[in-house]
Amino acid sequence: MSTKNPTDWTIAEARKSLEAGETSALDLARAFLDRAASVEPAVHALLERTTDRALSDARAADARRAKGERGPLLGIPVVLKDIFATRGIPTTCGSRILEGFVPPYDADAVERLSRAGAVLVGKSNLDEFAMGSSTENSAFGPTANPWDTGRVAGGSSGGSAAAVAAGECLASLGTDTGGSIRLPASYCGVCGMKPTYGRVSRYGVIAYASSLDQVGPFARTVADLADVLGVIAGHDPRDSTSVPAPVPDYAAALDGRVAGLRIGVPREYFVPGMAPEVEAAVREAIERLRSLGATIVEVGLPHTKYAVATYYLVAPAEASSNLARYDGVRFGLRKAAADANLLDMYRETRDAGFGAEVKRRILLGTYALSAGYYDAFYLKAQKARTLIRDDFAKAFAECDVLATPVAPTVAFGLGEKTEDPLAMYLSDVLTISVNLAGLPALALPCGFDGAGLPIGLQLIAPAFREEAALRVGDAFQRATDWHERRPPAPGAAKGGAR
C-alpha cells in the first residue's frame, strides 16, 4: 500500500488500492471530505460540499465492487464545476441570479460519472456564468491558488483546478470557452483537457457561448485525464452539437512513445511580454520531447493576432442571447417593488442578479448584434474565425500535434487585474484560438518559476484526435516529475512544493 496520504494519490494509485482491498470508497470519501474541511478556509475552491451525497455514492461504489464490478472511476472522489445541473443539489453558476435554483435533472456528464461509480464530494467555484480568467468574478468570492493563496487560481474553472491541486478530489470537471480549463490547470499545476467541440455533451451545462463551450476534465496526470475523458465522452442525442463519432480507448493510446511524431511549434505563440521563465520552461519541455524521438518543426498561425478581438465579439454576442432567459420569471432571483410592472421587474432582477463582468459582456454582445453593427462586428468576427481555423488546418498538414505555452505568465495576484478588463482578457491570448477552431487541447505542468509557481505546456491536436495530445503528454510525464509535486499546505507558505 502507498505510504502517501490518499489525498495525494492519483486516480491510478487510488484504483490500485481499492482493487487490492487496502482501502474502501467510503474511506476515500471521508479522507477527501476531511481534506476539504481543512483547506477550504484558505482556498475556497468549493461552493457546496455534498457530504451526504458523497457518503451515499461511496457506499454504493463499495457494494458494486463487492459484487465483482470494476471500472476506471468506481469509488473515485470527484468535484463538478457549479455550472453542471445536478438533480437535488443547488446549481448557481457563481451568480446571485440563480439563487435558490435546484435542478430537477442531471447533466449528461454527471449521469455518465454516476453510472461509472464516481463519488461526488462537491460543486466548485467559478467566474460568474464562466465569464472570466481568474475566478474573481464569482458572486461568492474568489478562489485562491493552492501554491500561493495570494494569487488567482485562473478561470473560469478555477475552483475545479484548485480542488484537484489542493487534494480535495482526484478529478474534477470544468468547462472551457476560451481557456477556462487550460488556464487554471496551468496556474494550479495540474492537468486539464479541453476536448474537441462536440466530443462531450453539453446537455445540462448552463450555457455561456454555445459555439465555444466544451466540457472537460482535470486530474493530476495525463493518464488520469484519459480515464475520465473515456467516461464522459460520447454522443448524446439531447445535445444537437454532440457528434456521433466513435470514442477511442484513450488509455490504450498511452504507449509512452513519441518517436516519429512531428510536433509543431507556432512562432506566434511566443509573444512579446511573455515571462522569460515561462518561455524557458516551455522550450525546455519541447526539447525534452525532441530527446524522446519527436521531430520538432516550426509552423505559422498568422491570424492568431486577431483571436482575442474575434473571441470578444463572438462570445459576448452568444452570451447576450443565452442570458436573456434569466428574467426573474421562471427560476432563481426575482427583485421588484410591489407596484412594479414587468419591465421594472426584469430591470431590477437583472441589475441585482448579474455581476459587473456579466453585464459588461451582455452589453458588448448586444451592441455587436444590433441593427447597423451586425455586419461590421459579428459577421466580420465569424469570417476571422474561419481564417483562424484554416491556419490550424494548414499547420496540421505539417505536424501531428502543436506545442505551446498555456499562458504568457504564471498566476498573477488576487486583485491585480480586476480593474483592467483588457489586461484580464489578454490572459487567454494563447488559448482562445483553440476554441474558435473547435480543437482539442491539453494543459500539463512543465516547470516552476523562481517563486515556486507552476508553468503549463499546451498540446493541441487535430479535431477528434484527443488521443494524440494525450499520448504526447503522457510520454512527457513518464520522462519528468513536474506532475508529482504538490503545493504546501494552503495558507502555510508562499510558493514552494512538497
What value, to the nearest 5°, has the Cα angle with vertex 212 and ends 166 and 155? 25
Could you tell me the three cell numbers for 314? 463572438
- CA 172 to CA 191: how far, in whole Å? 10
What is the DSSP secondary structure assignment for residue 119, as one 8-state letter?
E
Closest-CA residue to 208 (of 124, 95, 305): 95
Could you tell me the three cell numbers for 484? 508529482
- CA 188 to CA 209: how far, in whole Å? 25
Bridge partners, residue 216, by sequence = 174
- CA 282 to CA 288: how far, in whole Å? 10
Which residue type is seen at 462?
P
Could you tell me the three cell numbers for 231? 467516461
Q: Which residue has 482562445 as its cell numbers?
A: 432
What secondary structure does DSSP assign to 49-74, as a single string?
E-HHHHHHHHHHHHHHHHTT---TTT
- Residue 60 has phi, psi (to 5 degrees) of -65, -40
Which residue type is seen at 67?
K
Instruction: Spell out the residues 6+ positions from residue 380 whose beta carbon is closer than 8 angstroms to its own.
Output: 313
- Residue 263 has phi, psi (to 5 degrees) of -110, 120
- CA 489 to CA 7: how far, in whole Å? 12
Query: Could you give the 3-state DSSP secondary structure of residue 73?
Result: coil
- CA 446 to CA 427: how far, in whole Å? 18
Length of the chain equals 498
Instruction: Spell out the residues 6+ positions from residue 95 whose beta carbon is closer than 8 angstroms to its own.
Output: 128, 129, 139, 353, 354, 355, 358
- Residues with active-site annotation: 81, 156, 180
Peptide bond preceding 156 in cis form (omega within 30 of 0): yes
